[in-house]
Amino acid sequence: MTRRHFFILVFAGLLIFETCGCASAPKVRKRALRSPSQEIFKIAERKKAPSSLSPKAYAHYSMGMIYDNEGSTDQAVEEYCKAIEFDPYAAQAYYRLGSEYLKLGKVDEAVEILKKAVELDEKNARARF
């Protein structure tokens, strides 16, 4: 085999290697190289972001909204409480729960829950009033 044929085979092999996706492994490695401090930082950011609910909390929050729209206040309260159990930083769930308590006439409970909603999300003007 001549030198020319050898270089052509090597070039063709590299070209096939690159186009098949075998060379895209560094993307996976970047994700694997995250330090524990970066993961902790992401968790802290998640706690600061009240608009993002965990999947289980979101499911219960959505069910609470459905029950609320149907007029089933007691069931809505149960679902919002479950959402808060799964995600204790969900300000919107606290706000909805406080609103439901107001509908039921439980003013003291509503005030405490709405205070918690404001504590978690100071920008939530609805919870202040």
From residue 84, alpha-carbon distances to 15, 22, 28, 44, 58 in Å are 53, 44, 34, 18, 10
Of the candidates 128, 94, 93, the residue with the CA atom closest to the CA atom of residue 113: 94
For residue range 27-47, what is the model confidence (pLDDT) as tens digits?
544 555 556 666 665 655 555
What proportion of the chain, given as a percentage, has pLDDT over 90? 36
Class of domain 55-128: mainly alpha
Q: What is the pLDDT of residues 61-118, one digit of tens each?
A: 999 999 999 999 999 999 999 999 999 888 889 999 999 999 999 999 999 999 888 8
Q: Summarize the confidence of residues 13-36 as an average pLDDT.
A: 58
Residue with tokens 């069910």: 63
Contact 82, 97 (CB under 8 A): no
pLDDT tens digits, one per residue of 43-69: 555 554 445 678 889 999 999 999 999
pTM of the model: 0.57
Domain ranges, ordered by start, for the chain = 3-48, 55-128
Q: What are residue 72's phi and psi, to 5 degrees?
A: -90, 80
